[in-house]
A and B are shown apart, each in its own frame.
Chain A
Amino acid sequence: MHATTQSRHWIWIAVAAGMLLLPLGLGSDFALSVCTKIFIAIVFALSYNLLLGQGGMLSFGHAVYSGLGGYFAIHALAAIGAGSLSFPVTLLPLIGGLAGLAFGLLFGYVSTGRAGTPFAMISLGLGELVAASVLMLPAFFGGEAGVAANRVTGSGLFGIDYGSQREVYYLVAAWTLACAALMYWLTHTPFGRMANAVRDNAERVGFIGYSTHLLRYQVLVVSATFAGVAGGLAAINNEIVSVEAVGAHASGAVLLMVFIGGAGHFLGPVIGAVVVTLLQTVVSSYTHAWLFYFGLLFLVMVLFAPGGFASLLATLLPTLCSRRQLRLLAPGYLIGLGGLALLLLATVIGVEAGYHIAGHGMGATFRLFGRSFDSGALPALAVAAAALLGGILIWRYALDRTADARAVLGTQELMHGRPHAAGNAKAEHA
């Protein structure tokens, strides 16, 4: 991307403004709550990307750090409420971060000896261990029910007591911006660059005198700290931390977020966090098939776009910025979009019909998109099949059309002597 430093600053300011103004547009507490969850997921995913995208370490147990951070934060919150600890609730995520730091120091030393598959397997084993231990020590972890606390601990500054979802939203938004900015800055420091170096060629890094173990250890500790902050934010938002916070599902979810969003770009985890959280909260309230969509989305991304949504955007952006390219490529892209929309429709109808038939048999009334079809789901399947066929045909046509347009573009640029833009480059993947 060719954005200058100044335009980057503008992006940050625009994002901050957007986050500030969002509650005015959203009506309900529930929507605000979903947005808050998205922000927390963004912090968590960005912390994971420090490990995966920047450091090249695939971890299956990252939720350990955020979950443990959450547990310590909620205990602190309970203590604040009981009066035995005097600490501002606004800074509570710091306690989560400290807990994440501590456990990162503890677990990180033994797990960062090697990268690659051993690291991944150790993280998996540690994740299972911590999850099992949480259930075995209910004195601290509250067992199955978890630990709950009240975030309203008396009236604070300016009367903000975090009772309303709106106040929590702003708190989380502020923390998210701060963490994101901090992590962004980190990736551009020498530390961040050395992390990239270890990811790309660990042997060479060893040759120039750095200890790869120490570097990886440091990356993990920093990543665990931010994960702990995310856990602390979740503790405030949910007012409860239970064993799911350290479990395999949470670890899997953050992996999905970063992968779907794109591990190679800073914005990738952000996109992934938004998509996955929306899938988990909003989509799951409309359909029982949300897990299936999850898996399908994941498979499709791995097969066709392993660089994630961010890499897709990166290839599209130069096109959108150049009027000439836009004029040539737009028709093809739009037709492709139409084809994709048809394929999506076909998938949704097909999956919903499939789930309906499986659960209720062929004849029962089939409800989709708020309408009822009394004749059952079979006609819907036919529609889905037709949409599938149509979608594939249109997609293929769009591909051909885009290829032609790109050829024309290439010829034009050759004739005019301008360098060919990055429209065709495959994004780097982690």
Chain B
Amino acid sequence: MEFFLVSLLNGVSYGMLLFMLSSGLTLIFGMMGVLNFAHASFYMLGAYFAYAVGSQLGFWPALLMVPFLVGLIGAGVERFGLRQVHRFGPVAELLFTFGLAFMIEELVHLAWGRSAVDYPIPADLDFTLFTLFNTGFPAYRGFMMLVSAGMMVGVWLVLTRTRIGLVIQAALTHPEMAESLGHDVPRVFMLVFGGGCALAGLAGVIGGNAFVTEPGMAAAVGSIVFVIVVVGGLGSLEGALLASLLIGVLQTFSVASEWKPLALLGGGVSSGVLAQAAGLKLSQMAPILPYLLMVAVLIVRPKGLLGTRED
């Protein structure tokens, strides 16, 4: 019972972290139909900027400034890069963000070197929030969940309750009409892209100190973010939340499991690759479960769990 509750708590908090990482990508894809391969790179930028700014000014000013900075860079990328490529089709847009991811990673290596940098958790938040059955729950993790929830609520409010949000939604489905009504649709797209990148940057500020800020961090989270966006449904924020929680809990529980899912393959074989596959425990397979889930969902329901657009 104790283990179940602790694992549930860990799973939910991990899921919220994943949501924080992927909300920006969902937004960009949902609004603009661009799958931003460089999303994880903006996350990395956010973490490194937070390290740089934080070491001079402290964590809280960094928390306020860095997402804005990253968003600005994102808007610039959209204005001077993505927009040019837009007329060449969606494949070219995808490939542009692909190349961009490369470049950002190399530029980060240049600027900050190739070793991990010491971006620490702020001292104000470095304590144990509460203890559940002797297991401490770090306050910083609680803070991350709070920011994640706040992000979700904030984005939802902006999109549905503000004027700019309504314009964005209109530009998504009827860009020409919105433009005829006098709205600057290209500028709206720039805002949306910048906003998505800002969210990635915020995730970087919050997550960079918890997950170690190092050059390989973009590659490490890049694929899991895509899985969440695809499983949740391309374009659906609620779907991304659902997928994040699902994957978070699934992974956390499977780590504890000694079950051997492929045991049937073993049959009477005592050695060789089939026997080895049969002997794999779920805990060993845990990190690849999201990809299995993604492939399964895509086959059965290409729109994703709660998806609104497909292509």
B74-100 CB mask vs A (1 if < 8 Å, else 0) is 000000010011001111101110111
Let me know if B295 and A122 touch, CB within 8 A. yes
**B103 within 8 Å of A (CB atoms):** yes
Contact B102 A295, beta carbon cutoff 8 Å? yes
Q: Which chain A residues lie closer than 8 Å to B223 at the CB level?
A: 124, 128, 248
| Interchain CB contact (< 8 A) of A133 among B92, B94, B288 | B288
Closest chain B residue, CB of each to CB of A58? B91
Please, how many angstroms separate the alpha-carbon atoms of A114 and B302 in the complex? 8
Cα separation A289 to B109 with both chains bound (whole Å) = 10
Residue on A nearest B81 in the bound complex, by CB: A303
Question: Which residues of A333-378 are within 8 A (CB) of B?
Answer: 354-355, 358
Q: Check A139–B273 contact: CB distance below 8 A.
A: yes
The answer to the question of A121 belonging to the interface, with a C-beta cut-off of 8 Å to chain B, is yes
Q: A291 at interface (Cβ–Cβ under 8 A)?
A: yes
Known: A128-B291, A355-B110. A139 touches B272 (CB 8 A): yes
Given contacts A118-B302, A303-B81, contact A295 B106 (CB under 8 A): yes
Q: How far is the CA of A120 from the CA of B106 in the complex (A)?
A: 25
Contacting pair B273 A122 (CB below 8 A): no
> Most A CB atoms within 10 A — which of B276, B292, B295, B302?
B295
Given A113-B302, A118-B302, A430-B91, also A292-B103 (CB < 8 A): yes
**What residue of chain A has the Cβ atom nearest to residue B224's Cβ?**
A128
Q: Contact: B298 with A121, CB < 8 Å? A: yes
Is the C-beta of B153 less than 8 angstroms from some C-beta in chain A? no
A138 touches B276 (CB 8 A): yes
Number of A-B contacts (CB under 8 A): 120
Q: How large is the interface on B (under 10, 10 to 19, 20 to 34, 35 or more residues)?
A: 35 or more
Residue of A nearest to B87 (CB): A306
Give CA–CA (A118, B291) in the complex, Å: 14
Asked if A88 lies at the interface with its beta carbon under 8 angstroms from chain B, I say: no
Please report the total number of A residues contacting B with Cβ < 8 Å.
43
Give the dominant DSSP class at A's interface.
Answer: helix
Name which of B4-12, B129-137, B226-234, B250-258 contacts chain A.
B226-234
Question: Which of B96, B111, B291 neighbours the largest number of chain A CB atoms within 10 Å of its CB?
Answer: B291
Contact of B96 among A136, A140, A303 (CB under 8 A): A303
Q: Is the CB of A299 within 8 A of B310?
A: no
Q: Which of B85, B111, B234, B280 meets A302, CB within 8 Å?
A: B85
B91: min CB distance to chain A, Å: 6
A125 touches B295 (CB 8 A): yes
B251-294 residues with Cβ-Cβ distance < 8 A to A are 271-273, 275-277, 280, 284-285, 287-288, 291-292, 294
Interchain CB contact (< 8 A) of B111 among A116, A136, A358: A358
Please give me the residue from chain A that is nearest to B298 by CB atom: A122
B73 CB, nearest partner CB in chain A, Å:
15
Known: A124-B223, A128-B288. A110 touches B98 (CB 8 A): no
Is there a chain B Cβ closer than 8 Å to A327's Cβ? no
A354 to B110, CA, bound (A): 8
Asked if A58 and B230 sit within 8 Å, CB to CB, the answer is no
Do A113 and B110 touch across chains, with their CB atoms under 8 A apart? no
A289 to B103 CA separation, bound complex (whole angstroms): 11
Report the separation of the CA atoms of residues A430 and B88 in the bound assembly, to the nearest whole angstrom.
9
Binding site for B on A (CB under 8 A): 58, 110, 113-114, 116-118, 120-122, 124-126, 128-129, 132-133, 136-141, 248, 252, 255, 259, 289, 291-292, 294-296, 298-299, 302-303, 306, 354-355, 358, 429-430
Other than the known A298-B102, A302-B99, what 8 A-B pairs have Cβ atoms closer than 8 Å? Answer: A114-B310, A118-B310, A125-B230, A128-B291, A140-B273, A248-B223, A295-B100, A299-B103
